Amino acid sequence: MGNYIVESQFEYKGFTCIVVMQSLAYRCGYVGVTKDHPLYGMQFGQGDSDIIVHGSLTHSGGGEKSTYPIESDLWWLGFSCAHKGDGKDYEKALELFRDNPAALKRINTIRAIEKASNRNGEKVCTLEYVENECRNLADQLSAMEGVNAEQ
């Protein structure tokens, strides 16, 4: 068992959307594009694209025979919910990683440190919220389809 668990996988507007729970108790969202999409193979760093999504686009990668976040030939564009002000979903992480002793130890250690430092006011990005942000990302990616064909 790895450092993340796929919590949700769904199709939206022809795109595969994935929500993963990281073993650090926060979620990430990904939308996969096929080879015919103008952003397939494009590299993105933090905050350097016109795409508007929670915390900005923070991941791009994949391609033929890739394994993250799932096995596919898709190019994945993603975002994390581990930014300043984002809270951790400890209860769900503990439930999902119950069979992974190393992950449970990591989750409980981080939880204890945050409790000791009185970190309050952080908002957990729920599964529903991250799924909606994936739909938002897919809407933006859908609007870009055919851009290269028009040039």
pLDDT, tens digit only, all 151 positions of the chain: 479 999 999 999 999 999 999 999 999 999 999 999 999 998 876 445 689 999 989 999 999 999 999 999 999 999 999 998 899 999 999 999 999 999 999 999 988 888 877 666 689 999 999 999 999 999 999 998 765 433 3
Residue type, 126: T
User: What pLDDT, on a 0 to 100 scale, did the predictor assign at position 44?
Assistant: 78
The size of the chain, in residues, is: 151
Sign of CA dihedral 118, 123, 126, 131: negative
Q: How many CB atoms lie within 10 A of CB 49?
A: 16
Across the chain, the runs of DSSP E, i.e. the strands, are 4-12, 15-22, 27-33, 59-62, 75-80, 86-87, 123-124
User: What pLDDT, on a 0 to 100 scale, did the predictor assign at position 103?
Assistant: 93
Residue appearing with tokens 């040039």 = 151
Residue appearing with tokens 């795409």 = 51
The pTM of the full predicted model, rounded to 2 decimals, is 0.89
User: What pLDDT, on a 0 to 100 scale, did the predictor assign at position 120?
Assistant: 62
Distance (Å) of CA 33 to CA 23, 74, 86, 113, 129: 26, 5, 27, 38, 21
Candidates 26, 23, 24; CA nearest to 4 is: 23
User: What pLDDT, on a 0 to 100 scale, did the predictor assign at position 20?
Assistant: 98
User: What pLDDT, on a 0 to 100 scale, did the predictor assign at position 121?
Assistant: 64
